[in-house]
Amino acid sequence: MNCIPMSFLENKTVLITGATSGIGRAAAIAIASQGAQIIILARNSEKAEQLLAELPGNGHLFFLCNMLSIGEIKSVSERIKLSVSKLDILINNAGTWFSERQLTAEGQERTFVVNYLSYLQLSLQIKDLLLKSQHPQIINTTSFYHKQSFNVNDIQMQHGYSMSKAYALSKLYVILITRELARRWQADQIVVNCFDPGSVDSNFGRGQGGWIKPLLRLQKLLFGKKPLAGAKPLIHLSSSIPDLAVNGQYFQDTHVAEPSKSAQNDLHAAQLWDYSIELLQKINTSVP
């Protein structure tokens, strides 16, 4: 990655999910301060409007979208295409966890949808706009907490659900699909990377409960970074010229790092792709 002056982001259009709090909010403000137009996807209109008012510059946009709904992501993507002529950077940053296994209205496990499947759906739906950029890139948020085994026969944890494992698996899936998208879209010159923000002192997962909540509170107190520090790799990637030689990579801080062995398994990435595409096709064909 070749870092260049801040003017690189001047007149760039950046779409970001999970921008109303934490590292997403910090990144949105930092990127806007470098001259980019920010498009926010969020389900909380009040928080989104507050962020819009704080963003430096003009022309920023907000679209209401619940990342639990694949259908809503499809619909909002069509509205975005009518509002902007190109997209330079897509930042998939939405994330949460749930103490109990419950399904969305479309019949899918919630953590799987918000933390992973929404990333793939938005990337696919918005690809046409990325292709109109001179330097298109996708940046996905993952976590060091991704170290789980991949089971192609139980991708959505129908058996033995736990909040922590569902979260960890979703982050494993993000790394795998980052690698797969980078491979598939290299000919289109779309660079796809992911990053680990580390342990961040933010509102992430607040209100979800579960036995792990007090442990997370202690971890954040002892080791948690401020959101801007957690957003450092995201800001670095956004303000750097995308390099096809650094594609499908996992970043910690501002450097390429090595994820778990399972996260580097190309067969697992291909299996996850096949499963996800079949699932999305099924859901998308049922959306008006």
Specify the pLDDT at position 8: 87
Tell me the CATH number at 200: 3.40.50.720
pLDDT surpasses 70 at 261: yes
> Which residues span the domain enclosing 234?
2-285
pLDDT surpasses 60 at 218: no
Residue in 208, 205, 140, 221 with CA at minimum distance from that of residue 175 = 140
The whole-angstrom separation of Cα 44 and Cα 64 is: 7
225: tokens are: 């970074």
129: tokens are: 């706009």
The whole-angstrom separation of Cα 129 and Cα 86 is: 5
Q: How many domains does the chain have?
A: 1
Q: Which residue reads 């590292």 in tokens?
A: 23
The whole-angstrom separation of Cα 262 and Cα 24 is: 27
When pLDDT is averaged across residues 214-236 and rounded to a whole number, the result is 71
pLDDT surpasses 80 at 106: yes
Q: Which residue reads 């398994």 in tokens?
A: 265
List the Cα angle 40/46/50 in 5-degree steps: 70
pLDDT surpasses 90 at 287: no
DSSP-derived 3-state class of residue 88: coil
When pLDDT is averaged across residues 97-121 and rounded to a whole number, the result is 97
Specify the pLDDT at position 120: 98
When pLDDT is averaged across residues 244-252 and rounded to a whole number, the result is 97
- 260: alpha, beta or left, given left = phi > 0 and alpha = psi -120 to 50? beta
Specify the pLDDT at position 229: 86
Torsions phi, psi for 238 (to 5 deg): -65, -35
Specify the pLDDT at position 285: 81
pLDDT surpasses 50 at 222: no
158: tokens are: 């129908």
DSSP-derived 3-state class of residue 42: strand
Residue type, 148: Q
When pLDDT is averaged across residues 270-288 and rounded to a whole number, the result is 90
Question: What band does 3 get if pLDDT is binned at 50, 70 and 90?
Answer: low
How do 13-17 and 37-42 pair as beta strands? parallel
